[in-house]
Amino acid sequence: MPHQEILTVGLKHFLVLSSILFAVGSFVVVSRQNAVGILIGVELILNSANINLVAFSHYVTGLVGGQVFALFVIVIAAAEAAIALAIVLSIFQNFGTIDSTQADTMRG
Amino acid sequence: MYSAFSLLVTLFGVAALFAWLSADYLAITQLVVYVGGVLVLFLFAVMLTNKITDSEDSNPLVNVTGALPIGFGMGALLVTVAVQTPWKVLAKTTATETTSLVGNALLTEYLLPFEVASILILGALVGAVMMARKEVK
């Protein structure tokens, strides 16, 4: 029955979802002026990559390699968030704002 | 602030998807690391850097004319690729718990990246503290 076929959640649904998440994340990264907003967009992009990794590992290989890689991605993302927010706080101390267009001292 | 809370909802959703894909350990890790750690960092950053007085013009968007084509183009391209590619899907997927498998893989096959990641985290911790603290003369 074709109606049943549509309702089964498969690999493609996860891929489409992560594509949408990636697109939203890249839109946020480009269009936000707030530095914390840009970081939130980066987190969205990393999460979409994680969904892709885990979905492929579940539906295509059946092994756990993709999950291990997603774990490393989570680790890197946590380290990146800590460093980036420290940089944001330091920028806020120096410039009084976290507007990413205002901190342009090093612009040539 | 709203975007940080929306990120919370998104991260919970992704954790639920991980659990659905029989990646139970990863779902728990997502909850602990992202919701417990990263999101708290984000909330503190938002609170420490927002001035309450200028909250009426909160976070205007810039470059929308450039960002919309990028976002929609990227999304359309990726969705097209995802739908049209004939993926070699397994005939039958089983929902098993994979925590012990992940643990075995981490400590045997992926031991070197695991150790490198721990050193990276140590460096990130020290670096974050160094950058975020005030200068002490």
Of residues B53 and A95, more confidence is placed in: A95
Which residue segment(s) compose the domain that B25 sits in?
1-51
| Count of beta carbons in the 10 Å neighbourhood of residue A57 | 23
Q: Phi and psi of B136, rounded to 5°?
A: -110, 120
Flag whether pLDDT at B72 surpasses 80: yes
Residues comprising chain A, all counted = 108
Does a structural domain hold residue B85? no
Record the tokens describing residue A104, joined without a space.
Answer: 């342009």
Does a structural domain hold residue B87? no
* Radius of gyration of chain B from its Cα atoms, rounded to whole angstroms: 21
Q: How many domains is chain B built from?
A: 2
Q: pLDDT digits over A19-58, tens only?
A: 999 999 999 998 888 888 889 999 999 999 999 999 998 8
Cβ within 8 Å of A, B 104-123: 105-106, 109-110, 113, 117, 120-121
Across the interface, whether the CB atoms of A86 and B89 are under 8 A apart is answered no
Does a structural domain hold residue B56? no
Output the CA–CA distances (angstroms, integers) from residue B76 to A51, B69, B73, B83, B95, in the order listed: 18, 10, 5, 11, 31
Q: pLDDT digits over B107-137, tens only?
A: 999 999 999 999 999 999 898 888 877 666 5
| pTM of structure | 0.86
Does a structural domain hold residue B75? no
Does a structural domain hold residue B65? no
Residue A68 has its nearest CB partner, among B38, B74, B110, at: B110
CATH class assigned to A2-95: mainly alpha
pLDDT band at A90 (very low <50, low <70, confident <90, very high): confident
Flag whether pLDDT at B66 surpasses 90: no
pLDDT band at A1 (very low <50, low <70, confident <90, very high): very low
The mean per-residue pLDDT over the stretch A70-96 comes to 88
Q: Note the pLDDT of residue B11.
A: 92
Angle in degrees, 0-180, between the axes of helices B64-84 and A11-31, rounded to the nearest 10: 170
